[in-house]
Amino acid sequence: MKKIIIACQIVFVVFFLVKALSHIDLLKQIPFPASLSWNSGDEAIAQTPAKAPTPPPKDITDDDLQKERELLTMLQKKQKDLEARENALKAEEQKIAALKKEVIEKIDALKALETQLNAKLDTEKTQDEKRFKELAKVYEATPPQKAAAMLEKLDVRTAAGITINMKRDRAGLIWGFLAPQKAVEITNEITKATRRAAE
């Protein structure tokens, strides 16, 4: 209880001192006429010094922080611009990723299709070779003049395929009965087929 009373007294004294000091500052600001003076014996107390000129009132439009505010506004705008660009780039990256995935899927599909086509081509090539070998045996058993007449009526690729699979001596006999132009065409096709096989 004593502590509370002492604390209240200290607060009261501090309050009283603050009030007294504020009144003294007010007295200094009141201008006294020159005729009034405080005398201590014969000496006159010097008159109160002239008041310092009060600064003009501050213009509320002048703001010390205006430049900082403008800078902050500019930085916020730049940040929004950067965020917008970043979002646009992310959207573009997502589009590119989706396109890349689509392209990869199409490439994979094309590779699978290519594999299927190659398998079919190999099957057809094998079947063609088998068919040409069987036809070659038939043409070898046919008299040369008749075989030549039949070869001339075939397309060049088929005639070349049959001729390649024939025995040389039998093909040579048939060759003598072919028209020269047809023989040249068949020879060219045989040459091309040989090159393709080598590749």
| Number of other residues whose CB lies within 10 A of the CB of residue 183 | 19
Q: Are 166 and 140 in contact (CB under 8 A)?
A: yes
pLDDT of the chain, 199 residues: tens digit per residue: 777 888 778 877 787 777 776 766 655 665 545 554 444 444 444 445 556 666 666 655 556 778 888 888 999 999 999 999 999 999 999 999 999 999 999 999 999 999 999 999 889 888 988 998 898 888 889 899 998 999 889 899 899 989 889 998 888 888 888 888 988 998 999 888 888 877 7
Beta bridge pairs of residue 39: 44
The first and second tokens of residue 158, run together, are 């088929």
Coil, helix or strand for 155?
coil
Kindly tell me the sign of the dihedral angle through the C-alpha atoms of 109, 115, 121, 123. negative
Coil, helix or strand for 39?
strand
Q: What is the pTM of this model?
A: 0.44
Q: What is the largest CA-CA distance in the chain?
A: 169
Question: Which helix (H) or strand (E) segment is 57 a member of?
Answer: none
